[in-house]
Amino acid sequence: MNRDEVKKFAWLAGIFLVAYFLPLGDPKVTGAIFEAFRLLQWYAIHHTLACVVPAMFIAGAIATFLNQASVMRYLGPDAPRFLAYGVASVAGIILAVCSCSVLPMFAGIYTMGAGLGPATAFLYSGPAINVMAIFLSARVLGIEIGVARTVGAVVFAIVLGLIMSFLFRSGERKRIEAAPAPTPPAATRPLWKTALFFAAMVLFLVFSDWYNTNDVTVKLADGTEIRANIRYDTRDALDIQRYEDTGRLATEVERIPKNRVAEVAPVPSFTQSVHEVKWYLAGAMGLLVLLMVWRWFTRDEVRAWMHATWDFGLLIVPLLFGGVFVTGFVGGLLPEQAVAALVGGNSLASNFIASFVGMIWYFATLTEIPIVEMLTRLGMGQGPALALLLAGPALSLPSILVIYKVIGARKTAVFCLLTVVMSTAVGLVFGSFVG
């Protein structure tokens, strides 16, 4: 049996063992199964059509219409050093659409391209700044943490890259001669058309994904009014956090069955007003995209785009929804006090633990988002949540082993250390602002 078959067998055996031994009589377990479906429904209703699906089309378009080779040129052996850092820290948007391409590119940039600094910068920020990660984080975890994750990843990627290349400035490695890159096909349309096309698609996503403040006044059937923030809205129940008289959110989440709710009225604000007309704005952008596709793109290009989008769907949807389901189940079993004790609040220890666990743990594509969401619900602080989001996708035990083979033990150790220190620091600062 080859490796693929072994993997498949392990999956089947694992599912079999779970099915065989699952103690269905235990109310905690049945509760956890219910939670898993509840979380899955929440994703299906609130995050799938407005966020995951359009983001998949954008990712497909990036892979099809943007010339990766032209970006790679700025990370090649002849690239100006300082430009290379800047490009490396944001190149993930275009280059890391497929997460499995990150490590080979890292190895390439290190061994034959711009060197250790830009390579580590790319590795740190890449997984955090692909389109899907940006939008899903902002949508699921809130706009602040979504922005902080993106900005933090880019800024600290540059800092980390510079530190790495400063520490290891003397050790000139032996370089591998880069194969001459085959000449990329000539651009089929002027740059402004491509730019406009992507702008319209991103704006579609910005509007369809527009932030819902979730600040509402809930009127109950018995006449009481509650000022609250909705955490989860599923078909049968509302999970809310009350606003206390001080204006702060209560820490505990209450579940109110829908049949007790008479009316839910959003608290008006600019963000909320835009939210209410978001589908009109998104629809206008969608029409614009269709118009451009019709006028500017050939049938073959559109077919290639749809094909790439479908490939992403096949890759991401099972992982994401499977991840959401498992996260909901495990979250239903985890005791809140244990999570809060480890990563609650915004202490140095909480941030460090979150960063360290993030460095070791392997997150399948995008699953870091539901996992962090679940942990914050169980009491994880905002700072540690960001720390985990930064350190998590950048490194994992399997990727550390690969990196070790490429850059050696000392550099790997320093890189891991810097990643943890940097993520802890960003988490601390962020936590003290929003916590």
Partner 1 sequence: MEIKVLGPGCPKCKKLYEEATKAVSASGVADVSVSKVERIGEIAAHGVMMTPALVIDGVVKAQGQVPDARQIATWIVEAQAEK
Q: What is the contact surface with partner 1 in residues (CB under 8 A)?
A: 68-69, 72, 75-76, 98, 100-101, 103-105, 107-113, 176-182, 311, 314-315, 402, 405-406
Half-sphere exposure of 64 (CA within 13 A, CB side): 24
The token pair at 248 is 């702060």
Residue 83: CB minimum distance to partner 1, A: 17
The smaller minimum CB distance to partner 1, of residues 185 and 257, is found at 185
8 A C-beta contact, residue 251 and residue 192 = no
CA-closest candidate to residue 80, choices 126, 118, 124, 123: 118
Strand order across the beta sheet in which 261-266 lies: 254-257, 237-242, 225-233, 215-220, 261-266
Residue 243: CB minimum distance to partner 1, A: 46
Cα–Cα distance for residue pair 63/248, rounded to 1 Å: 44
The smaller minimum CB distance to partner 1, of residues 13 and 69, is found at 69
**Letter for the amino acid at 238?**
L
Residue 236: CB minimum distance to partner 1, A: 38
The smaller minimum CB distance to partner 1, of residues 69 and 83, is found at 69
Residue 176: CB minimum distance to partner 1, A: 6
Cα–Cα distance for residue pair 265/268, rounded to 1 Å: 9
CA-closest candidate to residue 297, choices 201, 182, 181, 184: 201
The smaller minimum CB distance to partner 1, of residues 7 and 260, is found at 7
Residue 274: CB minimum distance to partner 1, A: 37
Residue 99: CB minimum distance to partner 1, A: 8
The smaller minimum CB distance to partner 1, of residues 72 and 416, is found at 72
Which residues are within 8 A (CB) of 366 and not within 5 positions of it... i.e. 6 or more apart?
Answer: 132, 133, 136, 316, 319, 320, 323
The smaller minimum CB distance to partner 1, of residues 109 and 154, is found at 109
